[in-house]
Amino acid sequence: MSDVEAEREARNARFIQRFMDGVPHLKALGIGYQAHGDDWAELVLPYSPSLIVDDGVIASGAIFSLMDSAAGFAVFAKLKSMAGHATLDLRLDYLHGPEPGVTIVGRAICYRLTSSVAFVRGFAHQGDPALPLANMAGTFMYGGAA
C-alpha cells in the first residue's frame, strides 16, 4: 500500500470513528458501521432482546433510528465533510415486519445536494437488498454550499 493510499485509509477510519462517536444513541442501540462510499452508507442494527416488542421483532423506532443515522452518514459522505446538518423530513414505509433474531442493514444514498438541502433515499433489509423491509426518503438541511 502506498503512502497516499495509507493516508486515505487513515482519514477514512478517522471519519468513520468521528461519526460513530458523535451520535450517542448509536451505541445505546448497538448500531454499527458496515460500509460507505462517496455518496452512500450502510449501518447495521444487530438483533437484541432489549430492542424487541411483544411479537419478538425489533421495534420500529429502532429501525427508524438506524435509517436516520445511515441517511445522515450518507450526507456526510456526499459533502465530504462532518459539517453539521439536521433532519428536516424522514419517511419510512414499512413493507413487512423484520424476522426475529436477524440483523437489520440500513443503506442510504445521498442523491442530490442543493445549496442547503440534501436529498436521501434508502432501504432496510435483513441480508437480501432485493427484499427490503422498509423504504426511506428524507431531506436534511446543512449550512454549506453544494
* CATH number of the CATH domain containing 101: 3.10.129.10
pLDDT at 53 over 90: no
Of the candidates 44, 76, 70, the residue with the CA atom closest to the CA atom of residue 137? 70
Q: Do the strands 32-36 and 85-94 form a parallel or antiparallel pair, or are they unpaired? A: unpaired
The model's pTM is 0.89
DSSP bridge pairs for 133: none
Q: Which domain holds residue 118?
A: 3-142
pLDDT at 43 over 80: yes
pLDDT of residue 144: 53
The rounded distance, in Å, linking the Cα atoms of 97 and 118 is 28
Could you report the per-residue pLDDT of 98-145, keeping only the tens digit for each? Answer: 888 899 999 999 999 999 999 999 999 999 999 999 999 999 999 854
Mean pLDDT of 9-32: 84
pLDDT at 26 over 60: yes
User: How many residues are given for the chain?
Assistant: 146
Could you report the per-residue pLDDT of 63-100, keeping only the tens digit for each? Answer: 999 999 999 999 999 998 878 889 999 999 999 988 88
What is the count of structural domains for the chain? 1
Contact of 120 with 68, CB cutoff 8 Å: no
Burial grade of 52 (CB within 10 A; 0-12, 13-18, 19 or more)? middle
Q: Which residue has the cell 444514498?
A: 109
Contact of 99 with 57, CB cutoff 8 Å: yes
